[in-house]
């Protein structure tokens, strides 16, 4: 895997791009919420139907030619999937449309990433933006229904969506049929092929697809799965047009006892975002940050800080905003141990279907434990390299690849920590861990 | 130490009239292992006994015959020639 080309911290750093005057953002502030749930949220105004319609006017119908305008606008702003994959949204819609009408559109807000809360923030404060986007996608594709996909236990989000749907019915809005579905509260519950499999009556587990270019239409009835933020962005684009659309990203910044969901634009660097959203436990800048998600990339902070929050600007560096995690690692936390914990968690969250993932990830996690304990011999190191090579690209989904990407970037970025542990010296860094790991219900 | 059976060296790139590709659905494969015995030239085995199948099209007739036998013999129907 070759992810980082950041040999020189400040070489060829792309400049930030100012937003157009009057550009319309999704949020009116940054949302502050606890680490483990989204019940108490502050910092963003909740828009009920009246407030939403006062801002944007009535929902637009996409049953006619308006669909072409919306797709062209999506192309113009290069709207891409915010669940993490950043696949071009218009291309996905066109592809599913070609598969035929009468299917289902899913607003995916399962948000299995333990630290990320952007979709919850949208459903709690901008439910009508998500529902406008879902309704638009149903109409553009000629689908028969929309589904809001939540994980079991996301009661605040479920209540908010239910209330929003009732508001719309009361107001006589002409929406397609929309229902809520609850998925098991697991890391992989938001994986698109698992959602499609569930809609076809199967288990919520990822499925291997023979044609990797078209995983979203595997069944007889075409299914479009879009992340909730992606659909909210499609709705915003439909309301304000490409010229007034702010190409921002929703980042979830993790501090020690709370999280902040920030709407950051290409006019800001990661350094500026952190300055206004993160509480450093020691007043110092972080060593590094985990970017994208738990299957994302660790990046040294001096490399990430000057980069603008913009996926096109990050791409040449092998980086992606992914699902929007910005997990800073404070100076006094050991990056190797933190990565080992995350790897163990990801290994436990395997769908337990594919051999290389079921057996490979725990085996790799065991070797990383040995590394942490200073007991990794030369043959173990060789075995670790072999395992990583053997697992890569061999799952039905990308779960093992993400886990290995996180590990491989950690071994580079935290080379100093690795060296300290290797020489059997106790690591003087670890105070506590920072990134949240959900308790395993089977161990409780 | 884990047992790793290496695959044969990569063959020259196939032209437009490339042969079929052997594909594995890893989510249904149980690592039974019949395939790698029937098709040792096109299927390797990883450290946990699961088959490693390469993505390149099969051009050698003997390889295609081996792959066909493996597809037929798989008790989980996890192999496909596409």
Q: Residue A115 is part of a domain; what is its CATH number?
A: 3.40.50.11540
CA A390 → CA A112, A385, B51, distances in Å?
26, 9, 10
Q: Would you tell me how many other CB atoms lie within 10 Å of the CB of residue B82?
A: 9
Q: SS3 for A37?
A: coil
Q: Which of A438, A189, A433 is nearest to A327 (CA)?
A: A433
Domain assignment present for residue A27? The answer is no
- Look at residue A11 in the predicted model and tell me its pLDDT: 61
Cα distances from B22 to residues A74, A320, A337, B4, B65, in angstroms, run: 37, 32, 40, 20, 11
Residues A397, A403, A408, A412, CA torsion sign: positive
A269-296 burial string, b = 16+ CB within 10 Å, else e? bbebbbeebbeeeeeebbbbbbbbbbbb
Is A97 in contact with A71 (CB distance < 8 Å)? no
> Strands A31-34, B43-45: parallel, antiparallel or unpaired by DSSP?
unpaired
Residues A80, A233: Cα–Cα separation, whole Å: 10
User: What pLDDT does residue A38 have?
Assistant: 80
Q: Say yes or no for a CB contact (<8 Å) between A360 and B27.
A: no
- Other CB atoms within 10 A of residue A430 CB: 16
Q: Taking CB atoms and an 8 Å cut-off, how many pairs form between chains A and B?
A: 58
Domains of chain B, residue spans: 22-81
Residue B12: per-residue pLDDT: 47
CATH code assigned at A345: 1.20.1440.230
B4 near A CB under 8 A? yes
Residue of B nearest to A390 (CA): B46
Q: Are residues A315 and A291 in the same domain?
A: yes
Same-domain check for residues A52 and A196: yes
CA distance A114 to A341: 13
Q: What residue ranges of chain A have pLDDT lower than 50?
A: 1-3, 7, 9, 443-444
**A288 & A352 share domain:** no
Is the CB of residue B5 less than 8 Å away from at least one CB of chain A? Answer: no
Token pair in block for residue A13: 């750093």
Within a domain: residue A383?
yes
- Number of neighbours of residue A427 by Cβ within 10 angstroms: 16
A151: Cβ contacts below 8 Å, ≥ 6 apart? A110, A111, A112, A182, A183, A184, A185, A186, A189, A190
Within-domain flag for A144: yes
Question: ipTM of the assembly?
Answer: 0.87
Contact (CB<8Å) B50/A356: yes
Query: B48 vs A395: CB contact, 8 Å cut-off?
Result: no
Determine which of A215, A351, A354, A392 to mutate to test the interface with B (most B C-beta atoms within 10 Å): A354
**DSSP 3-state of B59:** coil
Whether B18 contacts chain A with CB within 8 A: no
Whether residue A394 and residue B48 make contact (CB cut-off 8 A), yes or no, is no
B50–A379 C-beta distance less than 8 A: no
Does B26 contact A353 at a Cβ distance shorter than 8 Å? yes
Partner-chain contact A394 B52, CB within 8 Å = yes
In whole angstroms, give the CA distance from residue A103 to residue A138.
Answer: 8
Class of domain B22-81: alpha beta
Residues A286 and A197 placed together within one structural domain of the fold: no
Closest chain B CA to residue A208? B25
Confidence at residue A430, expressed as pLDDT on a 0 to 100 scale: 59
Structure tokens at A257: 């006892």
Q: Are residues A371 and A312 in the same domain?
A: no
CA distance A263 to A254: 14
CB neighbours of residue B5 within 10 Å? 12
Q: For residue A271, what are the domain limits? A: 249-329
Do the bridges between strand B51-53 and strand A178-183 make them parallel or antiparallel, or are there none, so unpaired? unpaired
**Residue A309 located in a structural domain:** yes
Helix (H) / strand (E) containing A161: helix A155-170
* Same domain membership, residue A341 and residue A314: no
Q: Which of B4, B26, B80 sits opposite A395 (nearest CB)?
A: B26
A290 plus A418 within the same structural domain: no
Say whether both A283 and A372 belong to one domain. Answer: no
- What stretch of H or E contains A145? strand A145-151
Same domain, A363 and A384: yes
Distance (Å, rounded) from C-alpha A138 to C-alpha A267? 33
Domain check: are A263 and A287 in the same one? yes
Task: Report yes or no on A11 lying in a domain.
Answer: no
Q: What is the pLDDT of residue A369?
A: 94
Who among B27, B47, B48 is closest to A353 (CB)? B27
B58 in contact with A, Cβ within 8 Å: no
Residue A181, phi then psi, degrees to nearest 5: -125, 140
Q: Around Cβ A315, how many Cβ atoms within 10 Å?
A: 11
Residues in chain A, overall count: 444
pLDDT at A37: 81
> Domain count of chain A?
3
Top residue of B7, B48, B51 to mutate, by most chain A CBs within 10 Å, is B48
Task: Give every residue of chain B whose pLDDT is below 70, as ranges.
Answer: 1-17
- What is the structure's pLDDT at B18? 77
Q: Does residue A104 belong to any structural domain of this protein?
A: yes
How many other CB atoms are there within 10 angstroms of residue A442's CB atom?
Answer: 6
Phi, psi of A217 (to 5 degrees): -135, 50
CATH number at residue A260: 3.10.20.600
Last residue of one domain, picked from the residues A293, A308, A329:
A329
Which pLDDT score, from 0 to 100, does residue A350 have?
96
Assigned domain for A142 exists: yes
Report the 10 Å Cβ neighbour count for A414: 24
Of A282, A300, A329, which one is at a domain's C-terminal end? A329
Residue contact A359–B29, C-beta within 8 A: no
In a domain, A427, yes or no: no
- A70 and A214 in a single domain? The answer is yes
Is B46 near chain A, with CB under 8 Å?
yes
Closest in A355, A383, A395 to B48, CB measured? A355
A299 and A375 part of one domain: no
- Given CB atoms, is B27 within the 8 Å cutoff of chain A? yes
Which residue among A285, A311, A329 closes a domain? Answer: A329
Residues of A in Cβ contact (< 8 Å) with B30: 355
Cα dihedral A133/A139/A145/A146 (nearest 10):
-10
């Amino acid at each position: 895997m070759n992810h980082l080309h950041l040999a020189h911290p400040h070489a060829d750093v792309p400049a930030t791009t100012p937003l157009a005057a009057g550009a319309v953002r999704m949020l009116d502030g940054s949302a502050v919420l606890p680490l483990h749930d989204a019940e108490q949220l502050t910092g963003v105004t909740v828009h009920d139907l009246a407030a939403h319609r006062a801002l944007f006017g009535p929902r637009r119908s996409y049953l006619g030619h308006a669909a072409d305008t919306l797709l062209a606008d999506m192309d113009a702003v290069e709207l891409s999937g915010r669940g993490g994959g950043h696949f071009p949204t218009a291309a996905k819609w066109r592809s599913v449309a070609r598969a035929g009408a009468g299917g289902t559109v899913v607003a995916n807000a399962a948000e299995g990433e333990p630290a990320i809360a952007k979709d919850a923030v949208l459903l709690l404060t901008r439910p009508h933006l998500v529902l406008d986007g879902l309704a638009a996608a149903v109409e553009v594709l000629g689908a028969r229904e929309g589904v809001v996909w939540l994980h079991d236990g996301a009661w605040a989000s479920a209540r908010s969506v239910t209330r929003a749907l009732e508001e719309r019915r009361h107001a006589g809005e002409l929406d397609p049929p929309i229902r809520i579905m609850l998925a098991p509260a697991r890391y992989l519950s938001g994986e698109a092929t698992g959602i499609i499999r569930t809609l076809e009556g199967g288990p919520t587990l990822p499925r291997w697809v023979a044609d990797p270019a078209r995983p979203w239409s595997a069944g007889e009835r075409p299914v479009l799965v879009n992340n909730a933020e992606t659909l909210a962005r499609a709705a915003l684009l439909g309301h304000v047009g490409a010229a007034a659309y702010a190409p921002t990203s929703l980042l979830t910044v993790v501090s020690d006892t709370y999280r902040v969901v920030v709407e950051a634009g290409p006019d800001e660097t990661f350094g500026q975002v952190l300055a206004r959203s993160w509480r450093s436990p020691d007043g110092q800048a972080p060593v590094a940050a985990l970017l994208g998600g738990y299957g994302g990339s660790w990046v040294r902070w001096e490399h990430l800080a000057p980069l603008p929050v913009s996926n096109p600007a990050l791409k040449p560096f092998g980086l992606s905003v992914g699902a929007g995690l910005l997990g800073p690692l404070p100076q006094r936390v050991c990056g190797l141990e933190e990565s080992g914990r995350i790897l163990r968690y990801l290994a436990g969250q395997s769908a337990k279907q594919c051999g290389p993932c079921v057996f490979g990830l725990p085996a790799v996690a065991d070797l990383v434990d040995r590394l942490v304990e200073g007991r990794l011999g030369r043959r173990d190191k060789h075995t670790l390299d072999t395992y990583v090579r053997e697992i890569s690209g061999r799952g039905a989904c990308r779960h093992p690849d993400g886990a290995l990407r996180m590990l491989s970037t950690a071994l580079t970025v935290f080379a100093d920590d690795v060296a300290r542990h290797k020489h059997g010296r106790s690591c003087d860094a670890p105070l506590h861990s920072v990134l949240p790991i959900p308790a395993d219900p089977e161990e409780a | 130490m884990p047992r790793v059976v290496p695959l044969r060296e990569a063959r020259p790139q196939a032209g437009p009239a490339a042969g079929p590709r052997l594909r594995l659905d890893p989510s249904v494969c149980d690592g039974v292992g019949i395939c790698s015995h029937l098709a040792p030239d096109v299927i390797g085995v990883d450290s946990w006994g699961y088959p490693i199948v390469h993505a390149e099209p099969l051009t050698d007739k003997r390889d295609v015959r081996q792959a066909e036998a493996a597809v037929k013999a798989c008790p989980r129907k996890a192999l496909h020639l596409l």
